[in-house]
Chains A and B, each alone.
Chain A
Amino acid sequence: MIKGSYPLMGDYKVPIEYLLRHALKVKVISPPPITTKTIEIGSKYSPEFVCTPFKYTLGTMIESIEKGANTIIQFGGGCRYGYYGEVQKQILQDLNYDVIFANLITKGKTSIKRIIKEIKKINPKFSKLKAIYYTFITIKMVEYMDTIDDYIRENIGFEENSGSFEELKFSCLKEFSNIKGYFDLRKKYRYYSKEFEKLKIHKPDNCLKVGIIGELYTIMEPFSNYFLEKTLAKNHIEIKRFTNVHYLLFEKSKKVPKYLKYAKEYIKYPMGADAADNIARTKYLCEENYDGIIHIKSSFCTPEIGAMPIISKIANNYNVPVLFFSFDAATSEVGIKTRLEAFYDMLEMRKTK
């Protein structure tokens, strides 16, 4: 019996599990939610100064194996993510865990051939046609989720009944995970986007607007950024975030040349991972009169470190405050809260001036 698991990333567990269940016909062991213990386990067995997502994902893998999983699926992207798989496989082996390790993507690129080869390791009898169909549904689901999330981020800070957005999102995800097919998914998406619009909000015209940019894993996995978005929402701030899975998979390759052109007085070449994107976004946020920018990343994220001097230069030119966060396994939550509060107060004061 194949019991598959995968490294966790935010709410995207719903589409991932859907895909694994239907396309690969495996029993999915849902990885336990990330806690401080996860990161402790992860750091214990990780190289010392690897970037933090490595530690998080390794921690989740070990926790899911303890829960009974015997197959791990890793899908790294570009930058260093692409090389996580092989090292993590070796670490798990050295820890005497007997698991099948399927690594779908390396080098930031992949080929159908490689994916099929890796999948055959898990389930030799899987049907390609079905896999394509379910992949399509999953992609659509990700797209719908991202659209809904964008709406939530703009408005959750101003809800009248506190918790109403979160409740609806929760039931929406639950429905999504049990859909019967594409048309069912579309029906549910339409229903829920209407429901979200019906939720009462009280949004002043001159509310504070903050843009969040930075490294992709830290942005998308709420535990790893210490629920930054939630904290901001509590302070009634509208949030703009660019990075989501749909962007990374389908929009990035088209957008990067545009971004480079848009910010050409600052950058000439792409700088690895999302660094160039974030520089252009900084300019965009400044021009659109956002009140502040928060740049988050895991510590030792090399491309973002390279982007930071340029980001702060742009923000200086436009006189927009930037807050840099670097999250590590040992970051204290209270410290982050203090800095966020001070940042918020400062934005507020600038606004009323």
Chain B
Amino acid sequence: MFYYYYIDIWTNFFDYLKIPYIISPKTNEDIIKRGIKVSFDEMCYALKTYLGHVDYLKDKCDYILIPRIDNYKLDNQTCTNFLSAYDIVKNTFNCNILSYNINLDKNETLKKGLLKMGKKLKKTKSEISKAYKFAIDKYNEKQVSEISNNMNKLNSTKTKILIISHPYNIYDGLIGSSIIKYLENNDIAVIYSDKFDSKKMNKLSKEISKDLYFKYSKENIGSLIFSFDKIDGVIFLSAFPCGPDSLANELAFRKIDIPYINLIIDNNQTFTAVETRLESFIDILKGGLND
């Protein structure tokens, strides 16, 4: 769940400190199966997958990195699964956990969290601060290039589709990346809702909703407002049964007038079912049938 938000920071941070690490493979059938085995059946698809990855890693390393992200101030809270992942893993598996907590309301920042984590790995303070700076610089560099890449696509002459989703859904190895592949094969410019300037998007979301307080939903809604008049259609992609999405997306459906489909993925889904819907959606957007 956290991987796609923070991977650039983590890898660079550990590389700089010369700490060896392994990354679980992209989500595959085996990981989903492991996840379903260790989780409760009502948990959301993303959390099940996450637990599957932990299960894969549990006997392969000394520590497993499981951060906890509480909030980015009161107006920018996260899903409760982000709050509880640490304790769920701790109670489900018998393994050592490396963790940090982000809670800006109580002034616990990423920097402080990484400092604590580095100390646990027996590194000195100056080393960790340097590694932190290095990681953040790399992260920002990549963000800038990804954002400008995304912006360029907005001006493309192809049919443009905005995918509104959380990164752990859309970049996920099984269904998410199949969707992207399918769209790109059909000559469509795919724009990602998470690759915009998050601060700007956060402010923009106020135009639709004053009360929304989920950070990631706010950014998604903001990206929709930003690119609204430049795109041809929207795909909402959420995991079953995502809490924040259920409300925030509903509001977006009702307030914005643009062709959309709402795809929901869970552990029984095959890509075939999704493909049928994508195909007809693309047909509608391109207007191929009437020409």
Q: Interface on A for B, CB 8 Å cutoff? A: 47-51, 54, 79-80, 82-87, 90-91, 94, 103, 106-107, 109, 266-273, 275, 299-300, 302-303, 305-310, 313, 326
Contacts and interface: CB of A to CB of B under 8 A. Distances in A.
A130 B255 CA distance: 39
B247 interface: yes
Contact of A90 (B68, B88, B101, B255): B255
B88 A107 contact: no
Nearest to B241: A49
8 contacts: A49-B240, A49-B242, A85-B211, A90-B255, A94-B254, A268-B86, A305-B40, A309-B39
B81 A302 contact: yes
B260 to A, nearest CB: 14
Contacts of A269: 68, 70, 83-84, 86-87, 101
A47 B68 contact: no
A73 to B, nearest CB: 15
B63 interface: no
A258 B134 CA distance: 39
B231 to A, nearest CB: 22
A307 B84 contact: yes
Interface in B68-109: 68, 70, 74-75, 77, 79-81, 83-88, 90-92, 101
A326 B42 contact: yes
Given A83-B247, A87-B250, A272 B40 contact: no
B234 interface: no
A87 B70 contact: no
B243 interface: yes
B246 A49 contact: yes
B251 interface: yes
B83 A272 contact: yes
B243 A80 contact: yes
Contacts of A80: 243-244, 247
A310 B254 contact: no
B246 A79 contact: no
A310 B87 contact: yes
B64 to A, nearest CB: 15
Interface residues of B, number: 44
A42 to B, nearest CB: 14
Contact of B42 (A47, A107, A268, A305): A305
Given A269-B68, A308-B40, A86 B80 contact: no
B7 interface: no
Contacts of A273: 80
B79 A302 contact: yes
Contacts of A299: 42, 241
Nearest to B103: A269
A309 B92 contact: yes
A83 B212 contact: yes
Contacts of A309: 39-40, 88, 91-92
B129 to A, nearest CB: 25
Nearest to A300: B241
B227 interface: no
B43 interface: yes
A107 B210 CA distance: 11
Contacts of A308: 40, 42
A311 to B, nearest CB: 10
